[in-house]
Every structure is written in C-alpha cells, then in structure tokens.
Structure 1
Amino acid sequence: NDFGATITKWKSIATVWAEVKPLSGREYFSAQQVQSEITTQIWLRHLDGIKPSMRVKFGERFLEIVAVLNTQERNVSLQLMCKEAVDG
C-alpha cells in the first residue's frame, strides 16, 4: 500500500469435490465477547501443494487449514483438519 505495509490477498488455486464433516464446536470468552470455534474435517482427492497456511472456502464460509494429512502417504486422498472462528 502507500505506507509500505504488506497486504495479504487470497487467491483460488482449485475447485474440488470434497466431503465436509463438522466434528466439534466450542464457545469461549475473548475480548469481552462470546466466540465460537468449529472443528471440521474435509476429505478430498490428493492435490499437490496444499499447506496449513491456506484456507478453504466452503459456500460463504472460510475454514483455516490446521493440518494436512496424506492418507497412508499414498497420494490418493487428503484429510484436512480445519477450524472456523465465528464472532459472536
């Protein structure tokens, strides 16, 4: 930007079919507000280059990738462990 600050922009790298399963949720108190966090598991065909620094757009929601698991290290499918923070 004009002040020399770095601006992060997200870009799409793929659109894929996946199975999305909410696993758990919790509420906690932060900054004098109730916050919610949902843990979600996503299964998809193997796709090179997926990293925990990325996020998944599912409908209108954005899920932060916490872990990428290559099922049995066979490069057939990936299991993404994700979390979604919801401000309350």
Structure 2
Amino acid sequence: MRTEFIDPGAFRHEVILEAASLTPDGAGGHHASWTEVATFFARIEPVAATSRFGGDQTLETVTHRVTIRYREDAASGMRLKHGSRILEILTVHDPDETGRYLVCRTREIGR
C-alpha cells in the first residue's frame, strides 16, 4: 500500500494516547487504570458502523482509521481519547514502511 502525501491540515483532531496499567484485584482478576503517554494531533476517518441484535439487546460497533505521525510507542492494546470519545487501538502499521505515518485501526468504546 502506497501512502501519498497527507496534507498537514488533515491532522486536526487532538488525541491523547493512553496505556493500561494492570493492578491485581485480589480475586484472581485485575483492574486496568489508564495512564497518559502523549498528546498529539491525528487524522480520524470513520470506516464502518454496524449494529447487531443479540442477547435481547442491540450491540453497536463503530470503527475508525486514525493516522498519526510515526512514533515508536504506539501499539495495539493502547487507546486514544478524543474529547469524551475513547478509541481502542486494534492494529497499528506503517502503511508504506517509510517511518512517516502510522495507521491505527480502532473501535470506539463507551458510547
């Protein structure tokens, strides 16, 4: 996949990159607390919105493609906060292996 030049104005959404810290809960599980890693600007594009019915409830899933400038510390399992919205990072890849950008496939949670 070839990535062409991206207009710097497309990086207009300020996001916070967060990493989870797991603490044992004493009952064999854990509690996740989120720590801010960095704040930067990103390009956020909606990809799909699906709805399915199961267990007597409707389950909504919204996915986004988030493009950021290349950084070593971004990884799946982290999350991005954009205002009150939370985007769980599912995958991270360098689309053209030039070290310029990272494309994150995300799923919106908690909305």
Partner residue in 1 for 2:55: 31
Q: Is the 8 A contact 1:23 1:39 kept in 2?
A: yes
Residue 12 of structure 2 is matched in structure 1 by: none
- Kindly indicate whether residue 90 of structure 2 is the aligned counterpart of residue 60 of structure 1: no
Supply the distance in 1 between the matched residues of 2:59 and 2:48 (Cα, whole angstroms). Answer: 14
Instruction: Give unpaired runs (5+ residues) of structure 2.
Output: 1-23
TM-superposed deviation, 1:57: 0.6
Q: Superposition RMSD on alpha carbons, in Å? A: 1.8
**1:71, 1:77 within 8 Å by CA — same for their partners in 2?**
yes
Deviation at 1:69, TM superposition (A): 1.2
Q: Return structure 1 stretches of 4+ with deviation > 4 angstroms.
A: none
* Equivalent pairs, count: 87
1:70: which partner in 2? 94
2:26 aligns with 3
Aligned residues of 2:78 and 2:89 also touching (Cα < 8 A):
yes
TM-score by length of 2: 0.69
2:104 pairs with one of 62, 77, 80: 80
> What does residue 46 of structure 2 align with?
22
Distance 1:9 1:70, change over 3 A: same
Q: 1:2 to 1:29 in 2, by over 3 A?
A: closer
Aligned sequence identity (%): 25
Give, in angstroms, the shift of residue 67 of structure 1: 0.9
Q: Give TM-score scaled by structure 1 length.
A: 0.86
